[in-house]
Amino acid sequence: MNKENGVEEGVSDLLAFTIPSLEDVERLHRRLEESAEEAEVLDVAYTTIDTPSGTLLLAATEKGLLRVAFEIEGLDSVLDDLGRKVSPRILKSPKRLDAAAFEIDEYFERRRRTFDLALDFSLSSGFRQLVQQYLPRIAYGTTESYKSLAALVGKPKAIRAVGTACATNPLPIVIPCHRVLRTNGELGGYLGGLAVKTSLLQLEGAA
C-alpha cells in the first residue's frame, strides 16, 4: 500500500468514526430526554407539529401546556423568550406534548370542540390571566365582542385591556381568543395573523 492510499483510507476511517448517523443522533437525543425527565431537570419541553394553520410550537412545564406559538412569531425567538421568562432548561421532548398534539389534531379534524389539557398560565398575570381563563367559556362556533367580554369578566370599561389580553394570549387555539371580534363584527387582531383567525372561525362554522 503506497503512502497516498494509506492517507485516504485513514481519512475515510476517521470520518466514519466521527460523524454519527441520523439514527445515532436521534437515539442520543431520546436518551437525553429520558435522562432529563428522570433527573427532573427538564423545566420546559417543546415540540413542533404541522397543522392547517402552519407549523405550531408547543411548550409545556410539568404543570401543563405553557405556550402555543405560530411560525410567524419566530419559533427561535419564542424559545429564547421562554428561556428568559421561565427557565433556560429547555429541551425538545415531544413525549410531554403528546396529549396536546393529539387534541389539536382532533380539533383541526373537527372531532374536538373543547380541550381537556392541563394548562400553565404562568406567562400571564392579573387582568390578562383573568380574561384568558374566561375565554374557553365562549362556545365553539360562537363569538363575543371585546366589549361584551369586558362586561362578562366584570370590567365593562376595560375594552382595550380585554383586547390586549387576547392579543397576548400565550395559548392560542387551545384558549380560543380567535372567537373574540370587534363590536362591528370586524376581526380585530390575532397573533397568528388575520388569515389564520378567519380560517379557525370558518372551521368552527362561526364565520
pLDDT at 72: 96
Asked if 140 and 204 count as a contact pair (C-beta separation under 8 A), the reply is yes
Please give the backbone phi and psi of residue 158, each rounded to the nearest 5 degrees, phi first. Answer: -95, 45
Residue 39: half-sphere exposure toward Cβ, Cα within 13 Å = 9
Determine the pLDDT at residue 142. 97
| Closest by CA position to 146, among listed 129, 125, 167 | 167
pLDDT at 22: 63
In whole angstroms, how far apart are CA 52 and each of 55, 105, 182? 8, 9, 25
At residue 46's C-alpha, the angle toward residues 50 and 164, to 5°, is 80
Give the pLDDT score at 8. 54
Query: Which residues are part of the catalytic machinery?
Result: 177
- What are the chain's domains? 22-108 (3.30.160), 126-204 (1.10.10.10)
Q: How far apart are CA 7 and CA 131, in angstroms?
A: 68
The pLDDT averaged over each successive group of 10 residues in the chain (207 residues) is 50 54 55 53 94 98 97 96 96 96 98 98 97 97 97 96 97 98 92 96 89
pLDDT in the model for residue 14: 46
Q: What is the dihedral of CA 193, 197, 199, 201, to 10 degrees?
A: 180
Confidence at residue 11, expressed as pLDDT on a 0 to 100 scale: 47
pTM for this model (two decimals): 0.80
* One-letter identity of residue 117: L
* Predicted local confidence at residue 39, as pLDDT: 46
